[in-house]
Amino acid sequence: MKYILSLLLIIGLAMTSYSKSNEIGEDIDVIHYEIHLNEINISDMTIDAATTITLKTLSSIDKIELELKSLNVTSVTSDDVNVNDFSQNGDILSIALSTSVAANSTIALTVNYGGSTFNENWGGIHWSNDYVYNLGVGFDSQPHNLGKCWFPCVDDFNDKASYDLYITYPENMVSSCGGLLNETIDNNDGTKTDHWVMSQEIATYLMSFAIGDFILWEDTYQGMERDIPINVYAKANQIDKVEATFANTKAIAAFFEDKLGPFPFNRISYVSTSLGCMEHVDNIAMASSLITGTTNMSSDFYISHEMSHSWFGNKVTCASAADMWLNEGFATFCNYYYLSGLYSEEDFINSIKDLTDDIILSCHNSEGWIPLNNMPLDLTYGTTVYDKGAIIAYTMMNYLGRETFDEAIKFYLNKFDSKAASSEDLRDAVSESSGIDMSDFFDTWVFTPGSPVYVVKDFTVQPNGNKFDVEVTMNQGHRGYEHIGNSVRYEITFVDENWNTHSEMISWDGATGICSATIDFEPVAVFCDYNNKFADASNEMTFVINKTGSNNFSSAKFKAITEEISDSTLLRVEHHWMGANSANELPEGLTISPDRYWSIYRLDKGESKIKGEFQYQNNANYDGNLMISENDSIVLLYRTNGSEPWQSINYEHQGYNNYGRMTV
């Protein structure tokens, strides 16, 4: 959801107070909206409209409050109750009733209104000479929901309703709206009225309209349970590019149905807009710059991301903006997950690994250390929500196992179908489906800022017939917050001198765990997360080196420089973003970095001469506390494993106190 497409994506939002009254909608449940956009004046950029709101009272009330932004109300009427008066104060429409209405009553109110519409840099109603459309949320607006900018409503994630939309507009244009087109009426005055029906209950920000000089491109996807229309509304100068751009749409839909369950809405439909993208139900706003006439991962990224919102966000909506990762984090995960079906498992794993390395390196720099489930409003659409949310979803998949994860997510989506859900709801649903208590996982990965760090302290090997018993001591830390988790599930990989590997999922509680495994060969090394399954605060990479030259691992601040090699070398680099534990006293006057250290494994076939370049940079993001005074200097220490003391090592130093490199 919600991508600004330009040369830069900049989300710089000032923290403001939550402007919406917490009481709006608490005493009513809106059942249905009947919206009449009676006039859309393109030259004046105004609308004249009426909306009938059918609602159920949850308690005895004598006042109803709705939200309406920028537009002016001219009357409020009802056949069910006597309306005494109404007033507007900012975005709040207060409707006073002549008498109290009892709880569990169903009433309908008709609000007539109009005027100039609201928009910000992204969200709201956008006007041009040849199209008008809405985007259901705004980055700058707080709260972000902008259903209120075109009809009076309870504009939150929890109050879902069905819709009838009657939209009147110039007869030479085409409308693309949420729901299914039920009827088109020629008004014989240069306008026509389309009647769109949204029978499913959705949140207000997901209902949408667009009118423009569109041409409709149509196809059909043979879905899991039914044939589903595929619609793309594009401009005349784009229509020839649509088929190639959307060539993988059916395959993406099939992948998501397999993993998430049957497609939950009426159509897979996209409309070309100047800004995008936004996952309105049945009417996804798609930035026109993305309709390029080529089929590739880049265009698929946006098509798949917005389609996946049909499940994450549209079918089940986050209960509040603080839990937006349930919408955006899972949708971002999905637009990587589909790579495993359409392209290859390797593309999926490598793409997620690159994203993980980026997030570990930089996410906290701009947004700080914050838990996923308690996001401030100014960071609702930030990197933590989208990208860290995605890699935590990926970590959960590997914590549970892929098949168990897929079934648990289907269970969650069905349990909260047409409802709103919280992180706690997801936790409990996944626990119920899988039979695995997810409390500790959520405590560590979702409810606590930062990320855990898991490292091999040491290991011992004992022969056992033609097998080997291995005992591995694991240490756990946490970057960005004081936390030690329980119910750890983590993959380690044993490696022998011929580079044969065997991976095991191990479990333990607390800061230190001793884990045992019996394997077929004698290991000479134990790697952490060799298959890149977990978003712990470590960067890991394995190089197979068979020629001279450099191998750079920039996110780990490391470079391998091979000067001579007769055969090949396996070089494993693990860069841990936490301070290393000391096995005993450090040399006098030295302080270990609290931020990071490296584990290096080298297994040679033949002979080689390889240098390792370890980089530092004294800045606000890391290494900033190494240099306390100008008299300090940075040194490099070495130990054979986590049980041994740190010791001096010969190295070449180039650089200064603030930045440099040490080569071993």
For residues 648 and 663, the answer to whether their CB atoms sit within 8 Å is no
192 bridge partner residues? 169, 186
Question: How far, in Å, CA of 337 to CA of 331, rounded?
Answer: 10
Output the pLDDT for position 10: 22
* Angle at the Cα of 349 from the Cα atoms of 347 and 355, rounded to 5 degrees: 100
Q: Residue 240: which region, alpha, beta or left (left: phi > 0; alpha: psi -120 to 50)?
A: alpha
Output the pLDDT for position 656: 85
Pick from 481, 413, 414, 497: which is nearest to 446 by CA?
Answer: 481
Residue 38 pLDDT exceeds 50:
yes
| Share above pLDDT 70 across residues of the chain, in percent, rounded to a whole number | 96
Sign of CA dihedral 621, 623, 628, 633: negative
Output the pLDDT for position 583: 64
Output the pLDDT for position 102: 98
Pick from 159, 134, 156: which is nearest to 54 by CA?
Answer: 159
419 bridge partner residues? 316
Least confident range of 98-107, 122-131, 405-414: 122-131
Residue 617 pLDDT exceeds 60:
yes
Sign of CA dihedral 528, 534, 539, 545: positive
pTM of the model: 0.94
Residue 15 pLDDT exceeds 90:
no
Output the pLDDT for position 643: 87
CA Rg, the chain, in Å? 29
> Could you please report the per-residue DSSP string of 321-382?
GGGTHHHHHHHHHHHHHTHHHHT-HHHHHHHHHHHHHHHHHHHHHHH-S--TTS--GGGTTS
Which residue matches tokens 């044969």?
A: 500
pLDDT digits (tens, 9 = 90+) for 468-488: 999 999 999 999 999 999 999
pLDDT digits (tens, 9 = 90+) for 508-538: 999 999 999 999 999 999 999 999 999 999 9
Measured CA to CA in angstroms, residue 231 lies from 214, 221, 281 at distances of 12, 10, 13
Region 138-165 average pLDDT: 97
More confident residue, 363 or 453: 453
Residue 3 pLDDT exceeds 50:
no
Residue 423 pLDDT exceeds 90:
yes
13 — pLDDT class (breaks 50, 70, 90): very low
Q: Which residues contact 550 (CB under 8 A, 6 or more apart)?
A: 559, 560, 561, 562
For residues 112 and 63, the answer to whether their CB atoms sit within 8 Å is no
Region 405-423 average pLDDT: 98
81 — pLDDT class (breaks 50, 70, 90): very high
Region 329-353 average pLDDT: 96
Q: Residue 517: which region, alpha, beta or left (left: phi > 0; alpha: psi -120 to 50)?
A: beta
Q: Residue 94: which region, alpha, beta or left (left: phi > 0; alpha: psi -120 to 50)?
A: beta
8 — pLDDT class (breaks 50, 70, 90): very low
Question: How far, in Å, CA of 4 to CA of 108, rounded?
Answer: 38
Output the pLDDT for position 297: 85
Tell me how far the alpha carbon of residue 86 is from its chain's centroid: 40
Least confident range of 213-222, 312-321, 370-379, 634-643: 634-643
Measured CA to CA in angstroms, residue 648 lies from 171, 217, 638 at distances of 81, 69, 6
Question: How far, in Å, CA of 457 to CA of 513, rounded?
Answer: 10
Structure tokens at 484: 């030690």
Residue 12 pLDDT exceeds 70:
no
pLDDT digits (tens, 9 = 90+) for 300-314: 999 999 999 999 999
For residues 58 and 28, the answer to whether their CB atoms sit within 8 Å is yes
Measured CA to CA in angstroms, residue 637 lies from 43, 551, 574, 651 at distances of 71, 22, 16, 10
Output the pLDDT for position 459: 97
Q: Which of the given ranges, 19-23, 124-128, 582-586, has the highest pLDDT on average?
A: 124-128
